[in-house]
C-alpha cells in the first residue's frame, strides 16, 4: 500500500507496542530520516527498560510507517524519538504517534513533557507547538554528527483539564482512524 493511493479520510493506522520483530522496519526508516541512525543494540536496550520506556510502531496495512518513543523520569515524559517514513509524511502519522506518547505519559503520571528537536527542523517544531510544547533553550552541538544545535521544548501541566481538551481537539482533527491495539508494558 502506498501513501499516494489513500485519501486521508480512508487511512487506517494501527499503533502497537514496539517489539524486537519490528526493528528491521524501524531501522529502515531510521536510516532514511537521521544522518546517524540509532543502532539495533540501542533500540534493544531501550525496549528492555519497560518500566521507564514506551515505544510504538505505526502500521498502515502490514507496513511499518513510523515509530516513536517515550522515557519517563519521575513525573516528566521525555520524547526520545519520533520518525515517519518520508513516503508517509503529511498523513498525520507523526500526530498519531505523538498523541499515543502524550496519552501514555499521562497514564504513567507525567505532569510535563519534553523533547529536543533540530534547530532547523521547523515542520517538527510546528507539530510540537500544536501539542503545547514551548521552546525553553538551546543545546549547542547536541547533534554532534552534524554539528547542529537542539531546541529544547517543554509542555507543562499535561495532566490538567486544559491539556485533555487540547489532545481531544488534536485527535478530532486527524482524518481516518487510529487504533491503539497494544500498550507498552
Residues catalogued as catalytic: 116, 128
Cα 110 from chain centroid (whole Å) = 16
Q: Cα dihedral angle (119, 120, 123, 129), rounded to 10 degrees?
A: 20
Question: Cα dihedral sign for 104, 169, 94, 4?
Answer: positive
**What distance in Å separates the CA atoms of residue 123 and residue 183, rounded to the nearest whole number?**
28
The C-alpha cell 543502532 sits at: 39
**What distance in Å separates the CA atoms of residue 83 and residue 30, rounded to the nearest whole number?**
7
CB 53 within 8 A of CB 71: yes
**What distance in Å separates the CA atoms of residue 147 and residue 132, rounded to the nearest whole number?**
27
Question: Cα dihedral sign for 14, 18, 21, 22?
Answer: positive
Distant-in-sequence contacts of 134-142, Cβ < 8 A, 24+ apart: 142/116
Amino acid at each position: 500500500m502506498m501513501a499516494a493511493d489513500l485519501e486521508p479520510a480512508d487511512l487506517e493506522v494501527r499503533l502497537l507496542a514496539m517489539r524486537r520483530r519490528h526493528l528491521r522496519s524501524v531501522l529502515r526508516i531510521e536510516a532514511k530520516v537521521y544522518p546517524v541512525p540509532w543502532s539495533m543494540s540501542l533500540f534493544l536496550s531501550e525496549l528492555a527498560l519497560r518500566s521507564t520506556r514506551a515505544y510504538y510502531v505505526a502500521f498502515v496495512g502490514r507496513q511499518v510507517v513510523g515509530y516513536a518513543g517515550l522515557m519517563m523520569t519521575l513525573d516528566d515524559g521525555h520524547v526520545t524519538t519520533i520518525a515517519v517514513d518520508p513516503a508517509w509524511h503529511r498523513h498525520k502519522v507523526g500526530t498519531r504517534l505523538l498523541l499515543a506518547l502524550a496519552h501514555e505519559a499521562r497514564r504513567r503520571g507525567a505532569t510535563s513533557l519534553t523533547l529536543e528537536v533540530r534547530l532547523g527542523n521547523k515542520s517538527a517544531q510546528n507539530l510540537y507547538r500544536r501539542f503545547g510544547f514551548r521552546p525553553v533553550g538551546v543545546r549547542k552541538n547536541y547533534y554532534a554528527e552534524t554539528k547542529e544545535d537542539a531546541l529544547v521544548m517543554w509542555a507543562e501541566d499535561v495532566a490538567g483539564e486544559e491539556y485533555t481538551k487540547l489532545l481531544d481537539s488534536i485527535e478530532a482533527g486527524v482524518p481516518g482512524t487510529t487504533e491503539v491495539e497494544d500498550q507498552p508494558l
